[in-house]
């Protein structure tokens, strides 16, 4: 089964949980993982920055990509949030059944 994995980061645990809760409750994703205390080094407004952030790993199906993007942009606290898509495939049949049972088609 083909899926998409969306990565986005935020400096706010509240924002990460709000986006994750929304996506799971609306069955746009069966599971969102939040990894806390990652370090991001990046350039913003011409300056080198170093921040502690939360990484959100959002699993979904291709049909929900645009809706997930819309929700992330609406609920995110950054002016320009990172939204990166990776294609994936579920290999385990039991997990695949669980995944299908917890997402809207």
- What's 60's domain CATH number? 3.30.70.120
CA-to-CA distance for 95 and 91, rounded, in angstroms? 8
CA-to-CA distance for 2 and 84, rounded, in angstroms? 17
In a domain, 58, yes or no: yes
- The backbone torsions φ and ψ at residue 10, rounded to the nearest 5 degrees and listed phi first, read -155, 155
Give the pLDDT confidence of 1-59 residue by residue, as tens digits: 999 999 999 999 999 999 999 999 999 999 999 999 999 999 999 999 999 999 999 99
In a domain, 102, yes or no: no
Q: Give me 33's structure tokens.
A: 């993982």
* Total residues belonging to the chain: 105
Q: Give me 69's structure tokens.
A: 């993007």
In a domain, 67, yes or no: yes
In a domain, 104, yes or no: no
In a domain, 84, yes or no: yes
In a domain, 23, yes or no: yes
Number of structural domains, the chain? 1
Give the pLDDT confidence of 31-47 residue by residue, as tens digits: 999 999 999 999 999 99
Note down the domain range covering 22: 2-95
CA-to-CA distance for 10 and 72, rounded, in angstroms? 11
Among 19, 10, 23, smallest CA distance to 75 is for 19
Q: Give me 21's structure tokens.
A: 């809760």
Predicted TM-score of the model (pTM):
0.95
């Amino acid at each position: 089964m083909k899926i998409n994995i969306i990565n986005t980061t935020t400096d706010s645990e509240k924002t990460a949980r709000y986006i994750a809760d929304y996506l799971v409750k609306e069955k746009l994703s069966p599971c969102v993982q939040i990894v806390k205390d990652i370090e991001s080094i990046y350039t913003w407004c011409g300056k080198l920055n170093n921040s502690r952030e939360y990484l959100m790993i959002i699993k979904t199906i291709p049909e929900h990509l645009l809706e997930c993007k819309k929700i992330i942009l609406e609920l995110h606290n950054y002016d320009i949030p990172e939204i990166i898509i990776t294609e994936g495939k579920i290999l385990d049949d039991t997990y695949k059944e669980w995944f299908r049972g917890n997402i809207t088609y």
